[in-house]
Homo-oligomer: A and B are copies of this chain.
Amino acid sequence: MSTQNPVVRRPLDKLLDPKSVAIIGASDNHARIGGRPLYYLLNGSFEGAVYPVNANRETVQGVKAYKSILDVPGPVDAVVIAVPAEVVVQTVEDCATKGVGAAVIFSSGFAEQDERGAAWQAQLTEISNRTGIRLLGPNCLGTFNAKTGWLATFTTSVEQYPVQPGPIAIASQSGAFGSHLYTVAAKRGIRCTYWVTTGNESDVELSECIAYYAQSDEVKVIAVYAEGVRNGPGLRDALALAYKNNKPVIFQKVGRSGAGAEAAASHTASLAGSDAVYEALFRQYGVFRVDSIEELLDIALACQAGAMPKGNKIGLMTISGGAGVQMADTAEACGLDVSPMPEDQQKYLKELIPFAGVRNPVDITAQALNDLSLIKKFMESMLDEGGYDAVVAFFTVVAGSKMLSEKLIETLRDIRIKYADVPMILSIVAPEDIVRNYEAEGYTILEDPARAVRAAAALIHFGTAFERGLGTPPPALPSNAQRAPEGIVGEAEARNILASAGIPMAGTRLATTKEEAVAAWKSIGGPTAMKIVSPEILHKTEIGGVKLGVDGAEAVADAFEAIMAAGKQHHPSANLQGVIVSEMVSGGVLGVINDPVFGPAVMFGLGGVFVEVLGDVTFRLAPFGLDEAHRMINEIKGIKMLYGARGAAPADIDALADALVKLSVFADANADRFSSIDINPFIVKEKGAVAVDALIVPVGQETGH
């Protein structure tokens, strides 16, 4: 699949917004797969022409049927195909001949089943590429457009919960999961204009749906379920587009764990990128990653209300001190700022209700529910003077009654309108109709106070992510930068290449005799690291080609000879250039992995136990600029080390960020030439930073020192 122009290869309009449609394999029985979409189209709001195609019947569900798509008189924008796998290829070929724009293929029995099916699926891809017809599936549950009534699906969920246009759009690879997602979303009053399940992705893939949503005026919020995409750059471009258009993307990417990834592999056989690289991608484009459907829907519901604050300051109101404490815990765990109310306001509020909690959480006590004007005064104080970016309030069953809910809505209406850009999420236990009343006024209702706070945190995540922008762009590669090598090169050459790309390199001494090694040790004035230099020897440690902490003239001379002897013994024909003698230092680790799906991802971690024992590393897709590099550095758990923990001087983090940026630019420019790059250690000093060691592993070679 080409990754050129990955976002808008060919438009999806005919697939998602057709004016005339046909059902191939249309059934008279509403309950059958070929009967349901026809039934939905004929009995729903779809206004375009609908043609049943069935070789054996004159009419289907009371409508004239055609023997073949080729017999249909008018133009056909899109078809649904519900015929056995064996005849799908010919059917699609006929559709292309007819000039059909898009086909939704329900049929299963393709790549998910056996080799014969995989071959058929390859033929479908070929027809699509050759003729331009867009194909959804095969082996998918279809799609719908709630605005036009285009219900090209056989899920019964749309009977149980009729589709309603709204700000949410769903894209799911899995059909059953997508159907479940729609059902629970609709049950909770979440309104989806678009819903697509991509199934086997013979042609249309998830990232194209995301890009379509990102450019649709109807869509305000994008919810995605994926097990792993095939086209990494396409997903990156689609997410960048959504970011640019300030559309929040809520992404459930499963297969995070070992067991999950194994299950995903056996389920889809998709070439999934490394989970760490997805994580990097999501961080770069402000995507909110969720681990459960429920969390996805909580956030979609909160986004549906429309406000995404640009600040991090949360105001908590409660009628139970206990719930207030819990909300404060959750807010802090989400990284929110639970700043107290201004002192003068605390005094003012204490005068209104003497037993109230007036810091933040603000505990209005049960008294405020007997006199709602008090709630109004408290809320005004929190918004006018407290300056909170979002408010979460715990009102439990008390505000769930019909009478009190109506009064409360009325009392707060002016404030709700005045602060339309401040999300107000209420933790209320109420029947569905009362929940809908609150929602109509712009509140989000989540029964559980912890979930309410987490949803507010997600809104703040989006608002602040859009506010900050993508930051400084990556610089150009220096014009004199060398390319990554085609074959294996020694450390010295790797160092030269990376230095030409602007990455600072420590001066080291190449010793070709033991006398030169001792001289190098003397000039360093302390323990040294000694390492063999030879382009042919990759696994240096394993053969005894590395000695660390060598100190003293005699020890250095002995080490030189031992290292050279080990080189000769294990690689008799290798070109032994000598031994590098360098300062013994510890520091960070920079690296690049070249992900098969997404391309180069730059890694950063602190050295020693941080990487090796704790796995404390973070990634970003290359290339990126300085702002992103700083965000990356600040994600490390051991970050305190760089700011001068344990009595050390603060490190030059700007120099580190600069090196990460330059490494990302180099990696991007050489994406087709290497499989990994490893810079270990990378020393971040009080002033400046340098790489001590470097390894570039060409494509097709495995990593190793």
Contacts and interface: CB of A to CB of B under 8 A. Distances in A.
Contacts of A18: none
Contacts of A448: 292-294
Which range holds the interface residue count of chain A? 35 or more
Interface in A243-291: 252, 254-260, 262-264, 266-268, 291
B322 A176 contact: yes
Contacts of A173: 322
B326 A260 contact: yes
A352 to B, nearest CB: 16
A322 B291 contact: no
B429 A259 contact: no
A291 to B, nearest CB: 6
Given A257-B328, A359-B266, A609-B646, A292 B174 contact: no
A180 B396 contact: yes
Nearest to A394: B180
Interface string A160-179: 10000000000011111111
B184 A447 contact: yes
Nearest to A113: B355
A256 B325 CA distance: 9
A260 B357 contact: no
B225 A322 contact: yes
Interface stretch (A329-337, A467-475, A594-602, A649-657): A329-337
A311 interface: no
Given A180-B397, A321-B268, A359-B262, A333 B257 contact: yes
A324 B263 contact: yes
A361 B324 CA distance: 39
Contacts of A293: 326, 448-450
B329 A174 contact: no
Interface stretch (A93-101, A514-522, A636-644): A636-644
Nearest to A318: B176
A218 interface: no
A320 B450 contact: no
Interface stretch (A143-151, A481-489, A610-618): A610-618
Across the A-B interface, the 10 shortest Cβ-Cβ residue pairs: A174-B322, A176-B320, A177-B322, A257-B332, A292-B450, A260-B329, A267-B321, A259-B338, A260-B328, A259-B328
15 contacts: A174-B323, A177-B323, A255-B329, A257-B328, A259-B328, A260-B325, A262-B328, A263-B324, A263-B361, A267-B324, A267-B363, A291-B329, A292-B449, A293-B449, A609-B638
